[in-house]
Amino acid sequence: MNLPRLLGIDYGLRRIGVALTDVDGTTAFGYTTLDTKVGRPLDQLGRIIDEEMVKGIVLGLPLRSDTGEPSEMAKAVELFAQELRRKFPKLPIYMEDERFSSFAAEESLKAGGWVPGKDSKALVDKTAAKILLQDYLDRQRPPVELPHSE
C-alpha cells in the first residue's frame, strides 16, 4: 500500500509520546518519549521528522469521554498544534480523538506482562501515541469486501 510516513504525537505538559508508521505507512510503532522540560521538543521533533522522512503528523486531541467535547487539556493541544504548524508549515496535521488511548496503552502493556514502575509513564505515553496513530491509519483504509455466500 505504500502510504506516506506519519508521526503520531500524544502531547502532554510533562512528556510527549511519539510514534511512527513503518516505511510502508501502514503500521504504527512506539518510537520515543520526549521530556518537555529537557531540551526543545519542537527541535527534537524536527530531527525525527527529517531523519525518518515524515510527511504528516497525527496529533491526539483529548476529548471528554462523557460528551465528546474538547477537554481542558485540548486547549493546550490546540496551542501545540499551532506551534507545529508554524515550525513545520509543509506538513499536514491531522487531529485524532485520543479518548481512552492511555487506558488502552496500559491495558495492552499489562496484557504483555508489563508491571508499572519507575518511569513507566513514559512507556505508556509512547504506547498511547502508537495506539492513536494506528487508530488513524485503520480508519484510512478502505473496507474489505467479503465474498457473498449463497
- Supply the CATH number for residue 99's domain: 3.30.420.140
Residue 22, domain member (yes or no) = yes
Give 5's contacts (C-beta < 8 A, 6+ positions apart): 20, 21, 23, 25, 52, 53, 54, 55
Q: Is 59 part of a structural domain of the chain? A: yes
Give the residue carrying C-alpha cell 509513564: 121
Query: Domain span at residue 59?
Result: 6-140
The whole-number pLDDT of residue 110 equals 54
Distance CA 133, CA 116 (A): 23
pLDDT in tens, 53-105: 999 999 998 876 677 677 788 889 999 999 999 999 999 999 987 765 555 55
Q: How far apart (Å, rounded) are the C-alpha atoms in residues 39 and 77?
A: 19
Q: What is the pTM of this model?
A: 0.80
H/E element holding 93? strand 93-97
Q: Is there a domain that residue 1 lies in?
A: no
pLDDT at residue 129, rounded to an integer: 92
Grid cell locating 79: 496551542
